Amino acid sequence: MICILGAGPAGAAVALGLRRLGYPVTLVSEWRRFAALEGVSVRVLEALRGAGLNHALADAALPSQRQVWWNGQQHAQNIEFLLDRPSFDRGLREDLRGAGVELIEGRVLTVQTSAEGHRVEIEGHEVLVADFLVEARGRSTPTLGKGLRGPETVSLLNRWQATAGDTASAVESLEDGWAWMARRADGQCYWQWTVDVASASLPGKAMLLEYCRQRRHESAVARAFFGDQPQNDLQLHARSSTAILSPQVCGDNWIRVGDAAMAVDPLSGNGIFQSLSSALQAPTVINTLLRKPERAALAQRFHQQRVEQLFLRFARIGRDFYADEQRWREQPFWQARRCWPDAEVAHAEADFALLRIERAPVLRDGFVDEAEVVITADQPLGIWHVQGVELAPLVRRLWAEPAEQALAGLTVEQGRVVRSWLLAQGFKP
């Protein structure tokens, strides 16, 4: 039996993927205790549907035009969908039950792991014994040692009820952090302020709610966004939002996905998208570990490398967005984030002459296998095929033959897609 700890998008996606492969799955989770709202892109909605989370999306997403105030400039971003997490989480459970996943609601007290399996103690339930364990409890998952950490960051979420109005969302940069704000048509309002732990000088817990109210009132953007309506049932939730990469994300009989594997800064990319990015590959990795143990090292390498690469990619995108804010370059919040994690460019310039061919782990027929891949500026772990065409043999031919000769055997659609890919790599026919 496979046990999954955590019923967020990552845990749910792994559970559904494993059920499609025929595995019995038990999922253990404490359901979220407070209402929350998240802004997601169309790409995230498509990824959630692709994972089979259809009920979760049925009543959860409301479209909103997002306004951005950054570096003293205002502009409208793409449409953002406001995801109501209580509705979304209820839909997740419906999707899981429909797929035959056994659900246990309860707090995990202890997890004892050995080569023979896992013993999970759950408050109010019998001890659960599992052959394989999936850690998907997000940031609350116990650490495995010192991993890569970004500047220590905390997000203070304020939620209250106002009168009904239009759905909207906005982002604003501030001298000592940044704020995301949203309001729903039913009058639910959210203001999340993300600050630097070391330099924020926040008051004690008893004064924190009033301090947030004061900071919100000092912002002309927030005052205009929320108006002068009364703030009924005002609540505060503080959450760590430090970027963290776990030093190890896979073993012979366990795996970490979502925020348990890597948790990114909320500005550097959508949290749900990065959770799904590591979770969607996990069922194939688990299938390989259980049914082809001779490939265990290859499967673990595949998951570890992709989690690390995803983390650094999101971190560098966030770094560049922080660097765009020039007004407070020397303030502690901005100074610590505009140079982390490194100086590597987020999107390297393509150069066909620099393409390399290497053997690397890939996903083939439901298992992790090894194949020749093409290493590119934007795909440092390699890309295996495009539109069903293996790229390594094709690139080798292009190094030795005229392009028309090398591409002659492709279908019209394959030729169109492959030529587009080659041009994106800097290929000059």
Q: What is the pLDDT of residues 349-400, one digit of tens each?
A: 888 989 999 999 999 999 999 999 999 988 999 999 999 999 999 999 999 9
Cα(399)–Cα(143) distance, integer angstroms = 47
What was the pLDDT predicted at 78?
Answer: 72
* Maximal CA-CA distance, the chain: 73
What was the pLDDT predicted at 166?
Answer: 87
What was the pLDDT predicted at 270?
Answer: 63
Of the two residues 127 and 270, the one the predictor is more confident about is: 127
- CA nearest to 304, candidates 282, 289, 288, 319: 282
State yes or no: pLDDT of 153 exceeds 70: yes
What was the pLDDT predicted at 278?
Answer: 86
Mean pLDDT of 35-63: 81
Contacts of 311 (CB under 8 A, 6+ apart): 148, 243, 245, 262, 264
Of the two residues 60 and 87, the one the predictor is more confident about is: 87
- 153-240 in CATH: which number? 3.30.9.100
CB 257 within 8 A of CB 311: no
- CA nearest to 318, candidates 161, 412, 194: 194
Of the two residues 419 and 78, the one the predictor is more confident about is: 419
State yes or no: pLDDT of 424 exceeds 70: yes
State yes or no: pLDDT of 81 exceeds 70: yes
pLDDT band at 59 (very low <50, low <70, confident <90, very high): low
Place of tokens 């299938």: 287
* CA-based end-to-end distance of the chain: 54
pLDDT band at 60 (very low <50, low <70, confident <90, very high): low
What is the SS3 assignment for 156?
strand
The two structure tokens encoding residue 271: 């949290």
pLDDT band at 147 (very low <50, low <70, confident <90, very high): confident
CB 294 within 8 A of CB 316: no
Mean pLDDT of 152-156: 95
Q: What is the pLDDT of residues 323-352, one digit of tens each?
A: 999 999 999 999 999 999 999 988 888 889
Cα(427)–Cα(429) distance, integer angstroms = 6
Mean pLDDT check: name the lowest of 133-137, 174-178, 269-273, 293-297: 269-273
What was the pLDDT predicted at 258?
Answer: 94
Share of the chain above pLDDT 70, in %: 98
CB 298 within 8 A of CB 305: no
Cα(376)–Cα(391) distance, integer angstroms = 11
Of the two residues 60 and 29, the one the predictor is more confident about is: 29
Structural domain boundaries in the chain: 2-62+77-149+243-333, 153-240, 352-424
Q: What is the pLDDT of residues 88-106, one digit of tens each?
A: 889 999 999 999 999 999 9
CB 315 within 8 A of CB 150: yes
What was the pLDDT predicted at 307?
Answer: 96
State yes or no: pLDDT of 61 exceeds 80: no
User: Which residues does residue 250 pair with via DSSP β-bridges, in sequence order?
Assistant: 255
The two structure tokens encoding residue 184: 């729903």
What was the pLDDT predicted at 298?
Answer: 98
Q: The whole model's pTM is what?
A: 0.92
What was the pLDDT predicted at 224?
Answer: 95
State yes or no: pLDDT of 269 exceeds 70: no
pLDDT band at 84 (very low <50, low <70, confident <90, very high): confident
What was the pLDDT predicted at 332?
Answer: 97
The two structure tokens encoding residue 105: 């609601």
Burial of 35 (0-12, 13-18, 19+ CB in 10 A): middle
What was the pLDDT predicted at 306?
Answer: 95
Mean pLDDT of 152-181: 94
Q: Domain 2-62+77-149+243-333 is in which class?
A: alpha beta
